[in-house]
Amino acid sequence: MAAPPIKAGRVHRFWLIKTKSPETCSISGEMYVVARMRPPKNVKAPAIVRAMPAALVDRISITRQVSQTVHAEETCDSDFRKHIKSSARCGPPIMLLVKLGGSVLTDKGRLRSPRRTAIRRLARELAAARAPLLVVHGAGSYGHILARKHRLNEGGATRAKRGAAARVQADVKALDGLVVDALIAAGLAAVPIPPSAVLSLDDGRVSSIDLTPFLEFSSMSFTPVTFGDVVRDLRRGFSICSGDLLMLELARAFRPERALFVADVDGLFTADPKTHKSARLLEAVKPSDLPQVKFRAASRTDVTGSIEGKVRRMFEIADHVDECWIVNGNVKNRVRDALRGRHVVGTRVSRGP
Amino acid sequence: MAAPPIKAGRVHRFWLIKTKSPETCSISGEMYVVARMRPPKNVKAPAIVRAMPAALVDRISITRQVSQTVHAEETCDSDFRKHIKSSARCGPPIMLLVKLGGSVLTDKGRLRSPRRTAIRRLARELAAARAPLLVVHGAGSYGHILARKHRLNEGGATRAKRGAAARVQADVKALDGLVVDALIAAGLAAVPIPPSAVLSLDDGRVSSIDLTPFLEFSSMSFTPVTFGDVVRDLRRGFSICSGDLLMLELARAFRPERALFVADVDGLFTADPKTHKSARLLEAVKPSDLPQVKFRAASRTDVTGSIEGKVRRMFEIADHVDECWIVNGNVKNRVRDALRGRHVVGTRVSRGP
């Protein structure tokens, strides 16, 4: 599945992460990181993430746009191709995007209670995929319990609220430390990228995100790890950024082959399988299937929204990836097999017609 | 010590952190964060860090420059002043910049050995300062030992190097977790901002740093905490960013009243006080005093340079702050007193004539 070569007459879409203009927050050096986006969905090819010298970026004249359609006539000379291929900082494209649900990593009912065995096993399964990946994880009982108690999603400016926000930030970073340690032990060079440092919201929606660290670390074959966190919010002061929101931003930016949601159940059921014996697993779900699903009310401890809201976000994510799945992380090797593209028990989420 | 009011005819220097231009990495929302820099050194006034609506930023026409001298005629209308004063996101200016040395926080000779009692006491002393502060800390034995063993400051692209880089990143974040926990327990809303996410180097020098998280969190009365870390390097792949380098960047950006280096000795001596009984404490030091100091060779475990290099960097830092001190963090209340501006045993570092 090699990406189509850059050819005269063909339109390629480039996406510039760093710019040379002096007013940008991230003032770049001489090397510019450029992502060549995937062609439209029916053309099979992964995203290409590349670094190239500034001179070449100038030549294809995308120094001042975040995203621009570039006609290959401008780019198709041998120098350009050589640099794209030979740059020392070229890494393989990001193929897999995985969200480890907080309910798999922690006991969601008890404050700060990690499920260490599950964390270690899942880390080994991710490493066994042997493909470049981005990892997102939920906060589980390291985040939701205190966040709900102090209503951190509403923001605030009191001393008590600030203290609670700082406490939850420190807690989710502690859980992230466990996940990163397990990934490193499994052989991945995992690098945490906390949303609080690179992202800000505007009334709960993403206002800005700096994707450079994700792109640069993964282009060097590190495995970026990010997670649900308390982040800055332009209107509320601070608010909560869920792992699902990060999945959407990363899917949109990197267009991986496969997005995987690792849950504590087999997939999406027609009703909550924990309380309804007659609940049936949906092997595939598209927006028009939602009316047949009986969603329970939002969990008392989950501050990042209802299951229905999460599924609706998955539909958006499915739009940017080849395949989007929900699988059970409590069943051994199911995540590994799903990452390898094998057929597993789970729910395939598609944007659908 | 109120800042001088914005008056017609007077020249003020503004520094824009976010811009409205679409190509910036950190695409901003409707609120822009602006720092009014301190007037020249002989005028006593703290830096002002402010947020204001986009419309006002447009009016003072600094949307496209990182730094620009603005004539107050353009800005002096009642609307502008009102917004500066009434913005809900206005916080007090950053007054204090503190570097907690790795040798105080850890036992530098033994891998990952925190000095928990010292960490807790220093956290209480920082909280007792009761002034807005930025905290930087060293990596101590959580960073230097493995970083030296694997020569991480030279970068590299092998699997073993990547693994070591990820291990050290995870380790320094574990130490940071201890520092942040202690600060939160002492009553500060401490928020970690890892350099690996916001900074990149170019052959060891700072290539880009996103100061927005520091500015925005501190404008909401959080206490940003950053630390020596393994970071991206445009030429080497990755490299090491020392706490001292961060001190320089933050001093230059925020121009705090006081910068404090917390060491495990009383200050700068004429020779290493641990090995030379006759070593004499220098109460003040400027560049011309250096020849009388007998520096020992760089420590075997310190990857971020010699004492002499650190002192030379302090001279640069002293240029951006009112007072720059080295004090002993192992003596109870010395840090607290130094932060409060009391006269304590220590070395005052000045740029000097």
Tell which residue, B238, B91, B93, B200, has the closest CA to residue A25: B200
User: Chain B residue closest to A187 (CA)?
Assistant: B163
Q: Is B88 within 8 Å of A189 when comparing Cβ atoms?
A: no
CA distance B24 to A231: 20
Mean pLDDT throughout B57-85?
A: 33
Instruction: Specify the pLDDT at position A64.
Output: 25
Which tens digits make up the pLDDT trace of B258-307?
999 999 999 999 988 888 889 999 999 999 998 888 887 655 556 777 78
B319 pLDDT above the threshold of 60: yes
Instruction: Specify the pLDDT at position A209.
Output: 83
Is residue B6 in a domain?
A: no
Instruction: Specify the pLDDT at position A345.
Output: 97
Collapsing DSSP to helix, strand or coil, A66 comes out as coil
B206 touches chain A (CB under 8 A): no
| Per-residue CA distances from B278 to B47, B236, B274, B294 (Å) | 42, 42, 10, 12
A81, A91 Cβ separation under 8 angstroms: no
Out of B56, B86, B116, a domain closes at B86
Strand A323-328 with A133-137, pairing: unpaired
B11 pLDDT above the threshold of 70: no
A344, A324 Cβ separation under 8 angstroms: no
Same-domain pairing of B102 and B182: yes
The alpha carbon of residue A97 is apart from the nearest alpha carbon of chain B, in Å, by 19
Interface test with chain A among B19, B57, B150, B191, by most A beta carbons within 10 Å? B191
The beta-strand segments (E) located in B150-204 are 190-192, 199-202
Instruction: For chain B, give the percent of residues with pLDDT over 90.
Output: 49
Q: Position of tokens 């807690």?
A: A171
B202 touches chain A (CB under 8 A): yes
Same-domain pairing of A311 and A235: yes
The tokens for B27 are 């695409």
Collapsing DSSP to helix, strand or coil, B154 comes out as helix
Task: Tell me which chain B residues have a C-beta less than 8 angstroms from the C-beta of A190.
Answer: 166, 170
Instruction: Specify the pLDDT at position A299.
Output: 57
Please report which confidence band the pLDDT of residue B349 belongs to, taking 50, 70 and 90 as the band edges: very high
CA distance A88 to A85: 9
CA distance A180 to A226: 10
Instruction: Specify the pLDDT at position B314.
Output: 95
Is residue B119 in a domain?
A: yes
Same-domain pairing of A187 and A71: no
Q: Name the least confident of A331-340, B247-256, B308-317.
A: B247-256
B231, B201 Cβ separation under 8 angstroms: yes
A310 pLDDT above the threshold of 50: yes
> The domain spanning residue A266 has which CATH number?
3.40.1160.10
For A234, which of B29, B177, B192 is closest by C-beta distance? B29
Same-domain pairing of B273 and B306: yes
B41 pLDDT above the threshold of 70: no
Main-chain phi, psi angles of B19, to 5 degrees: -125, 165
CA distance A252 to A35: 12
For A193, which of B31, B197, B211 is closest by C-beta distance? B197
Q: Name the least confident of A83-97, B123-137, B148-162.
A: A83-97
- Check residues A204 and A115 and name the one with the higher pLDDT: A115
Task: Tell me which chain B residues have a C-beta less than 8 angstroms from the C-beta of A196.
Answer: 191-193, 213
Same-domain pairing of A320 and A276: yes
Is residue A4 in a domain?
A: no
For B197, which of A17, A198, A222 is closest by C-beta distance? A198
User: Chain A residue closest to B193 (CA)?
Assistant: A197
Please report which confidence band the pLDDT of residue A302 belongs to, taking 50, 70 and 90 as the band edges: low
Please report which confidence band the pLDDT of residue B221 belongs to, taking 50, 70 and 90 as the band edges: confident
DSSP state of B3: P
Instruction: Specify the pLDDT at position B212.
Output: 80
User: Chain B residue closest to A222 (CA)?
Assistant: B162
Which tens digits make up the pLDDT trace of A122-155?
999 999 998 889 999 999 999 999 999 999 999 8
State the count of interchain CB pairs (< 8 A) between A and B.
Answer: 195
Task: Tell me which chain A residues have a C-beta less than 8 angstroms from the C-beta of B207.
Answer: 27-29
Same-domain pairing of B205 and B281: yes
Q: Which of A23-27, A39-43, A79-83, B123-127 has the highest mean pLDDT?
A: B123-127
User: Please, how many CA atoms are within 13 Å of residue B332, restricted to the half-sphere of its CB?
Assistant: 2
The alpha carbon of residue B338 is apart from the nearest alpha carbon of chain A, in Å, by 25
Task: Tell me which chain B residues have a C-beta less than 8 angstroms from the C-beta of A235.
Answer: 31
Same-domain pairing of A81 and A168: no
Q: Which of A201-210, B78-87, B118-127 has the highest mean pLDDT?
A: B118-127
Q: Say what angle helices B212-219 and B243-254 make with each other, to 10 degrees.
A: 60
Which tens digits make up the pLDDT trace of A275-284?
888 999 999 9
With helix as H, strand as E and coil as C, how does A115-159 read?
CHHHHHHHHHHHHHCCCCEEEEECCHHHCHHHHHHCCHHHCCCCH
Interface test with chain A among B20, B23, B90, B135, by most A beta carbons within 10 Å? B23
The tokens for A23 are 């007013």
Same-domain pairing of B221 and B312: yes
Domains of chain A: total: 2
Please report which confidence band the pLDDT of residue B79 belongs to, taking 50, 70 and 90 as the band edges: very low
Q: Name the least confident of A20-29, A322-331, B64-73.
A: A20-29
Is residue B91 in a domain?
A: no
Instruction: Specify the pLDDT at position B146.
Output: 94
CA distance A92 to B238: 18
CA distance B349 to B287: 9
Instruction: Specify the pLDDT at position B252.
Output: 82
Handedness of CA B347, B40, B248, A223 (dihedral sign): positive
Instruction: For chain B, give the percent of residues with pLDDT over 70.
Output: 71
Is residue A1 in a domain?
A: no
> Which residues 22-61 on chain A approach chain B with CB closer than 8 angstroms?
22-31
Please report which confidence band the pLDDT of residue A297 belongs to, taking 50, 70 and 90 as the band edges: low
Please report which confidence band the pLDDT of residue B208 belongs to, taking 50, 70 and 90 as the band edges: confident
Please report which confidence band the pLDDT of residue A353 belongs to, taking 50, 70 and 90 as the band edges: low
For A189, which of B166, B198, B234 is closest by C-beta distance? B166
Range of the domain at B77: 11-86
Query: In this structure, what is the dihedral angle of CA atoms A340, A343, A347, A349, given to the nearest 10 degrees?
Result: 60
User: Chain B residue closest to A230 (CA)?
Assistant: B191
Out of B29, B62, B86, a domain closes at B86
Mean pLDDT throughout B318-342?
A: 94
Rg (CA), chain A: 21
Q: Is B197 within 8 Å of A202 when comparing Cβ atoms?
A: no
- Check residues A249 and B87 and name the one with the higher pLDDT: A249
DSSP state of A269: B
Mean pLDDT throughout A89-116?
A: 86
Is residue B5 in a domain?
A: no
Q: Could you write out the DSSP letters of every residue in A168-195?
A: HHHHHHHHHHHHHHHHHHTT--EEE--H
Same-domain pairing of B157 and B259: yes
Instruction: Specify the pLDDT at position B72.
Output: 31
Query: In this structure, what is the dihedral angle of CA atoms A167, A169, A170, A174, given to the nearest 10 degrees?
Result: 130
| Per-residue CA distances from A109 to A113, A119, A141, A302, B98 (Å) | 8, 17, 6, 10, 39
CA distance A240 to A196: 10
Helix (H) or strand (E) holding B299: none
Out of B53, B86, B119, a domain closes at B86
Same-domain pairing of B225 and B338: yes
Same-domain pairing of A167 and A23: no
B46 pLDDT above the threshold of 80: no
B146 touches chain A (CB under 8 A): no
DSSP state of B236: T
The alpha carbon of residue A304 is apart from the nearest alpha carbon of chain B, in Å, by 21
- Check residues A298 and B291 and name the one with the higher pLDDT: B291
Q: Burial letters for A307-319: b for 16+ Cβ neighbours within 10 Å, e otherwise?
A: beebbebbbebbe
> Which residues 58-97 on chain A approach chain B with CB closer than 8 angstroms?
64-66, 88-89
Instruction: For chain A, give the percent of residues with pLDDT over 90.
Output: 50
> Which residues 288-347 on chain A approach chain B with CB closer than 8 angstroms?
none
Mean pLDDT throughout A60-88?
A: 33
Same-domain pairing of A82 and A112: no
Classify residue B312 by burial, with Cβ atoms within 10 Å: 0-12, 13-18, 19+.
middle
Is residue B200 in a domain?
A: yes
A178 touches chain B (CB under 8 A): no
Which tens digits make up the pLDDT trace of A151-210?
999 988 889 999 999 999 999 999 999 999 999 999 999 999 999 999 988 888 888 788
The alpha carbon of residue B329 is apart from the nearest alpha carbon of chain A, in Å, by 24
For A24, which of B24, B89, B190 is closest by C-beta distance? B24
Which tens digits make up the pLDDT trace of A247-267?
998 988 778 889 999 999 999
CA distance B220 to A239: 13
- Check residues B315 and A58 and name the one with the higher pLDDT: B315
Is residue B4 in a domain?
A: no
B158 touches chain A (CB under 8 A): no
Longest Cα–Cα distance in chain A: 63
| Per-residue CA distances from A155 to A143, B108, B351 (Å) | 15, 40, 43
